[in-house]
Amino acid sequence: MEWLNYHHLYYFWTVVRLGSISKASQELRLSPPAISAQLHTLEESLGEKLLARSGRNLKPTEMGRVVFSYGDEIFSLGRELMTTVRNRPAGRPLRVVVGVVDGLPKMIAHWLIQPALRAPESVRVVCRQGSFDQLMSQLAIHELDVVLSDAPSNPNFKLRAYSRFLGQCGTLFMATAELAKTLKSPFPHSLDGAPLLVPTENSAVRRSLDSWLESQGIHPVIRGEFQDYALLRAFGEAGAGIFLVPSDFEGEVKPQDSLQCIGSTDDVRHLFYAISVDRTIKHPAVVRICNTACPQLFRRSAEAA
């Protein structure tokens, strides 16, 4: 295996960042000829011309810009590592940054993340919400420690990521008492022609729902599609339509006299995954999230069956 000389890369990165060898010489406390020699060695090892003169300054070539962008990421991560390992004050909370996909119900996200806060050491949780693609992009540049999703990592996404299956459950169909009174047929045919609020088509549970409705020959009236589950539920609680709730978490939904469960099915599945860039998870808070969720979610599913 060919190994990159990170000292040479750092000299190149500094020259491009400052615009000249003389300025880099002052910052690195090395002579200009020494830096020039290291740059030449780097170009030879890569087999590419990285710098071109522009007046009195040096500008990166097209390949030089590519190498500089990699160096920028490498040395940014290096600074972050040193800050974390050496400079974290005693007693400062361990930071874990969790990405939560928009379509994942927030009560489930809370339940999955909660074990991280019960770690022996103090933990500070930072939650970021977004689309699957947005969060995977942030995971790729190490802005996130883990992504909680309703689907595994897409193999077409240009990132080597590892998906850990946390569990699954069925679905309850909820409606306001006023809307429930208008439903005539027994469930599930009571959904035929009824107003329904659903997740957007890019979510795994929506695909499961559409397949189940088609198999039952049921055609509801889609009154709204939502990327954010909390917003979907808010519309449902306001009476805009029937909405979905993960069945295993029924007990964690605050009871409301105005809401009724009109039916349930295990054929529409809610799936839960933790996605990381590490084959073996090392962050203690993420380990706790995965190790707690797996047995408890599988137990819930087994009990429900």
Are 35 and 126 contained in the same domain?
A: no
Are 174 and 53 contained in the same domain?
A: no
**Residue 1 belongs to a domain:** no
**Residue 204 belongs to a domain:** yes
Q: Could you report the per-residue pLDDT of 225-259, keeping only the tens digit for each?
A: 998 888 898 999 999 999 998 887 655 554 556 78
What tokens does 130 get? 């977004």
d(CA 42, CA 179): 71
Of 60, 86, 112, the residue at which a domain comes to its end is: 86
What tokens does 300 get? 């819930």
Are 56 and 110 contained in the same domain?
A: no
Are 236 and 159 contained in the same domain?
A: no
What tokens does 229 get? 């589950």
Helix axes 6-18, 21-28, angle to 10 degrees: 120
Residue 277 DSSP code: S
Q: Could you report the per-residue pLDDT of 112-144, keeping only the tens digit for each?
A: 898 888 767 778 889 999 888 888 888 887 888
**Residue 253 belongs to a domain:** yes
Number of separate domains in the chain: 3
Are 189 and 260 contained in the same domain?
A: yes
Q: Could you report the per-residue pLDDT of 49-68, keeping only the tens digit for each?
A: 999 988 777 889 999 999 99
Are 103 and 234 contained in the same domain?
A: no
Are 173 and 162 contained in the same domain?
A: no
% of the chain surpassing 90 pLDDT: 36
Tokens 């995954």 belong to residue: 273
Are 194 and 264 contained in the same domain?
A: yes
Of 86, 107, 125, the residue at which a domain comes to its end is: 86
Are 25 and 154 contained in the same domain?
A: no
Are 99 and 223 contained in the same domain?
A: no
Range of the domain at 76: 6-86
Q: What is the CATH number of the domain that holds 140?
A: 3.40.190.10
pTM of the model: 0.62
Are 28 and 65 contained in the same domain?
A: yes
Instruction: Estimate to the nearest angstrom the gap between the alpha carbon of 43 and the chain centroid.
Output: 37
Of 86, 121, 149, the residue at which a domain comes to its end is: 86
Q: What is the CATH number of the domain that holds 197?
A: 3.40.190.290
Q: What is the CATH number of the domain that holds 67?
A: 1.10.10.10
d(CA 108, CA 148): 10
Are 114 and 153 contained in the same domain?
A: yes
SS3 of 125, please?
strand
Lowest mean pLDDT among 106-120, 122-136, 263-277, 289-303: 289-303
